[in-house]
Amino acid sequence: MVAMVRRRLPEERARSMVSLAALFLFWILLSSALDPAHIAVGLAAAALVSRFSSDLLIRRDERIPSPKALLPYLSYLGHLAVEIVKANIHVARLVLDPRLPIAPSIVKFKTGLKGEVAKASLGNSITLTPGTLTIDIKGDTFYVHALTREAAEEVRAWHMEKRLKEVEDAA
């Protein structure tokens, strides 16, 4: 009961608003119904959960991203989609080539990204795109398995990292 009546910091309130919005959208999507009864129940459930778990989506030790980061983030997602299609065609070519022209290597490089979420995003982006696979991240060093020599060269100075950096700077 003490926790319930405790006054909430503005930051905690903002955190729980983010959770509320995300949970409510998720509810609408899954219920696929827009009648008042469904919306009321969904809103109540989302409000309850976000009230008690304000750090559900954004951890307490992380800053809340500013809305200014949205535009660079959308640009990052758009470029990622293009890269994924390119990656698939690239790997499909290698797989279907009778000579199987692969020259794998495990390379390492350092990143300028600071946040954990940004680093995890970069790791996942690398895995999703042309012939590269993140094996491990230690501090700011990335270990990447590359399928070809060109892929290994490309990943060291990758333009997607700059895009993530823009997102991080705006947030």
* Binding interface with other proteins (CB under 8 A): 29-30, 32, 84-85, 87-88, 91-92, 94-96, 100, 102-108, 123-124, 127-129, 131, 133-136, 138, 141, 143, 145, 147, 149, 152
Q: Which is nearer to other proteins, 51 or 104 (CB)?
A: 104
Q: Which is nearer to other proteins, 12 or 94 (CB)?
A: 94
Label each residue of 108-119 as H, E or C.
Answer: EEECCCCCHHHH
Q: What is the DSSP letter of 59?
A: -
- Is residue 130 within 8 Å of residue 86, measured between CB atoms? yes
Instruction: Quote the least distance from Cβ 151 to other proteins, whole Å.
Output: 9
Instruction: Quote the least distance from Cβ 152 to other proteins, whole Å.
Output: 8
Instruction: Quote the least distance from Cβ 117 to other proteins, whole Å.
Output: 12
Q: Which is nearer to other proteins, 43 or 156 (CB)?
A: 156
Instruction: Quote the least distance from Cβ 114 to other proteins, whole Å.
Output: 20
Could you give the CA distance from residue 107 to residue 75 in angstroms, rounded to a whole number? 27
> Which residues are within 8 A (CB) of 81 and not within 5 positions of it... i.e. 6 or more apart?
none
Q: Which is nearer to other proteins, 9 or 85 (CB)?
A: 85
Residues in the chain: 171
Q: Which is nearer to other proteins, 9 or 74 (CB)?
A: 74
Instruction: Quote the least distance from Cβ 128 to other proteins, whole Å.
Output: 5
CA distances from 100 to 67, 97, 146 (A): 46, 5, 15
Could you give the CA distance from residue 66 to residue 57 in angstroms, rounded to a whole number? 15
Beta bridge partners of residue 109, listed in sequence order? 142
